[in-house]
Structure 1
Amino acid sequence: MGFQGFDKNFNITDKVAIVTGGASGIGKAISELYLEKGAKVALFDLKDNVNDVAKKLNSENAIGVTCDVTNNESMDRAIEKVKTHFGKIDILVNCAGIALLDDAENISDDYWQRTIDLNLTGSFKMCQKVGKVMIAQGNGGNIINLASQAALIALDNHVAYAASKAGILGITKVLAYEWAQFDIKVNAISPTVILTELGKKAWAGEKGEKAKKEIPLGRFGYPEEVAAIALFLASDATNLMTGENIVIDGGNTIK
């Protein structure tokens, strides 16, 4: 069969997406853009207000589901709710994450384990569970994992975070390889500092100004800019792209 082209407006009309960490920050921005482009979106989050956030974004095509991605039963219930409500799952975006920072010689077992459990194991378990649904459906799919520039370069006090995000890149490649036979594309996004509410607080003042000077484009990113990449990866435009990592860092990792 020859090349049939694709929708150059990057519509994902009637696709069903799960976005973990969907109630705030990058996850919320992705959810909002997906809805604008015609998708139906399930926002997964631990926050109590996740359903309110979903209703405000789109009362018809969005649902909020309380979900703990470190708990198997919670994930299973949440995924089943999406299948019951929307009938299928086409897209998974793993956005839920945590940054517990300390220097390598002093980081606690608690900080290390919580980071790995949420950022790495939680993302993999969501991939595994939703991947099984996609395989059973037989219609392919797109999985998008949020990694970080910390997976590629050394950042002070980021040892646990860097380990978790480097692991995300490994998972992304292996799943892309194993699931290509099912037409399930698995890709990653690695942002620099993104100016979410948490990002603004964490990188305020002199620390942030110093960090921006290390970035060739001279600034941090915005959630909407990461959402645009997540839309690209969810669209038919990337049907031949899998196992890749798109870095959105103002050139920080090219030095």
Structure 2
Amino acid sequence: MEFTGFNKDFMIGDKVALVTGAASGIGKAIVKLFAEKGANIILVDILDDKMAEVAKELNSHGSDTLCLNYDITKTDNVKDLVEKSINKFGKIDILVNCAGVALLDNAEEISEEDWDKTMAVNLRAPFLLSKYVGQKMIENNYGKIINIASQAGVIALDRHVAYCSSKAAIIGMTKVLALEWAEHNITVNAVSPTVILTELGKNAWAGEVGEAMKKKIPVGRFGYPEEVAASVLYLASDAADMINGTNFVIDGGYTIK
């Protein structure tokens, strides 16, 4: 991979991006920014109505879209959605594994069902998508994969045993894929946010619990979905061709202590 310069406006107009969890929160912010920068978007989510609304907004920016409602923890579903994406667009240039769940409980109390669901959504699904999209990227000798991990993959958080474990595993997976696929002109990176003020984040961290948490973050505030999206755009762009296997932490300094 030779350095040939990069688009300083971070336009990705010739790219096709597949984003999971695209109907809300961080995923929605990512697809909106990608559309503004010219990409065509494959939206994958289980929220059909919300996904259709987001797609209409992306279409207003001139993006061609494909909405796919799938349980991405199932191998056959992932294979099918990848084939449908290739049939429509002919390629997938960018994969963003954003869908996730956070099922919290004390380590001695968490149910095996919650553990298994966390691993299925947060780890198995990103692996399956990376595997089957990665096969197409290898054929095309190009690709950008960005996995949404978490500060919980770097440090311990109370009542987060399943979540922390799944996100630490995603960071490890990212490094292996980055190592194996670099020769195919594919980069793989992770992004690890702190508390982000999605609708769920606003509700979960309202009031005293939120104020106490913000005091632990050196910059003194939580993040916004648009800030995560900006980092993902950078990693998806040709400006980041030399960045591979990194974990891009967006936490206001929370994990430096």
Give TM-score scaled by structure 2 length.
0.96
* 1:45-96 per-position Cα deviation (integer Å, ceiling 9, x unaligned): 0112223321232265222111211111221221111111111100000000
* Partner Cα distance (2:173, 2:190) in 1: 10
Number of the residue aligned with 1:53: 54
Q: CA deviation at 1:2?
A: 6.7
Decide whether aligned partners of structure 1 residues 2 and 220 sit closer, same or farther in structure 2, where only a CA change above 3 A counts: closer
Matching residue's letter, 1:33 = L
Q: Does 1:36 align with 2:36?
A: yes
* 1:144-167 per-position Cα deviation (integer Å, ceiling 9, x unaligned): 000000011111110100000000
Matching residue's letter, 1:119 = N
Matching residue's letter, 1:73 = D
Query: Percent of counterpart pairs with the same letter?
Result: 59
More displaced, 224-233 or 193-202? 193-202
Q: Does 1:123 align with 2:126?
A: yes
Q: Is the 8 A contact 1:94 1:145 kept in 2?
A: yes
Q: Is the 8 A contact 1:119 1:164 kept in 2?
A: yes
* Partner Cα distance (1:189, 1:2) in 2: 25
1:210-225 equivalence runs, <5 A = 210-225=212-227
Which among 109, 113, 125 is matched to residue 110 of structure 1? 113
Q: Is the 8 A contact 1:93 1:145 kept in 2?
A: yes
* Partner Cα distance (1:51, 1:79) in 2: 19
1:170-249 equivalence runs, <5 A = 170-249=172-251
Q: Is the 8 A contact 1:51 1:65 kept in 2?
A: no
Q: Is the 8 A contact 1:98 1:118 kept in 2?
A: yes
Q: Does 1:70 align with 2:90?
A: no
1:132-171 equivalence runs, <5 A = 132-138=135-141, 140-171=142-173
* Partner Cα distance (1:174, 1:218) in 2: 34
Aligned structure 1 segments of 4 or more residues deviating by more than 3 angstroms? none
Q: Secondary structure at the match of 1:253?
A: helix
Decide whether aligned partners of structure 1 residues 92 and 77 sit closer, same or farther in structure 2, where only a CA change above 3 A counts: same
* Partner Cα distance (1:4, 1:96) in 2: 33
Structure 2: gaps (5+ residues): none
Q: CA deviation at 1:202?
A: 1.2
Matching residue's letter, 2:172 = G
* 1:195-247 per-position Cα deviation (integer Å, ceiling 9, x unaligned): 00111111111111110000000010000000000000000011111000100
Matching residue's letter, 2:54 = V
Which among 89, 100, 104 is matched to residue 101 of structure 1? 104
Decide whether aligned partners of structure 1 residues 141 and 2 sit closer, same or farther in structure 2, where only a CA change above 3 A counts: closer
Structure 1: gaps (5+ residues): none
Q: Is the 8 A contact 1:32 1:57 kept in 2?
A: yes
Q: CA deviation at 1:251?
A: 0.4
More displaced, 17-26 or 49-58? 49-58
Q: Secondary structure at the match of 2:122?
A: helix
* 1:143-190 per-position Cα deviation (integer Å, ceiling 9, x unaligned): 000000001111111010000000000000000000011011000000
Q: Is the 8 A contact 1:185 1:239 kept in 2?
A: yes
More displaced, 50-59 or 171-180? 50-59
Which among 248, 251, 254 is matched to residue 252 of structure 1? 254
